[in-house]
Amino acid sequence: MSDRYAPGEIEGKWQRRWADARVAYVDTAVPGDEYYMLNMYPYPSGSRLHVGHGRNYILGDALYRRQRMAGRKALNPMGWDAFGLPAENAAIQSGVPPREYTLANIELFGMPRTLENVLPRDKPRPATPGSLNKLF
């Protein structure tokens, strides 16, 4: 074992393994002991990722993982709260229509991609502004 921690090697190795094994995938067509874990979606309102995001999502992720380890069909989606007051106010201040502003910030932030590095998610169910996905 090396004394040096190489995050690019170690983290990347496990992230690829989790993605290949689809550890976060939930087949909603198959009956089971279902558990739906929804964290507060982040607001795409102009601010960047900060320590507060970690506080919100790490706690929920721990609960979600505990449910998975207990054998439950736990679904923990990630998306955006594009209808909250912070997102609406930011769009008004920018002079850009709210939907355009929100989608541009989602592309800019790449938050779900950024959080993938820490919190594996079930990929087939992205949630974007105005989408209504049947989860269970």
CATH of the domain at 73: 3.40.50.620
Residue 47: pLDDT band with limits 50, 70, 90: low
Is the separation of the CB atoms in 135 and 125 below 8 Å? yes
Q: What percent of the chain has pLDDT over 70?
A: 70
Residue 66 in domain? yes
pTM: 0.62
How distant is the alpha carbon of residue 85 from its chain centre? Answer: 20
Residue 47 in domain? yes
Distance CA 95, CA 91 (A): 6
Q: Average the pLDDT over each of 12-21, 33-42, 123-132 and give the range with the smallest value.
A: 123-132
Q: What pLDDT, on the 0 to 100 scale, is given for residue 82?
A: 67
Q: Which amino acid is at 59?
A: L
**What's the mean pLDDT in 16-28?**
85
Domain that holds residue 77: 24-116
3-state secondary structure of 36: strand
Residue 127 in domain? no
Beta partners for residue 34, in sequence order = 73
Greater confidence (133 vs 35) lies with: 35
Residue 133 in domain? no
Q: What pLDDT, on the 0 to 100 scale, is given for residue 2?
A: 66
Structural domain total, the chain: 1
- pLDDT digits 0-9 by tens, 77-119: 777 776 677 777 888 888 988 778 878 877 776 655 555 555 5
Residue 130 in domain? no
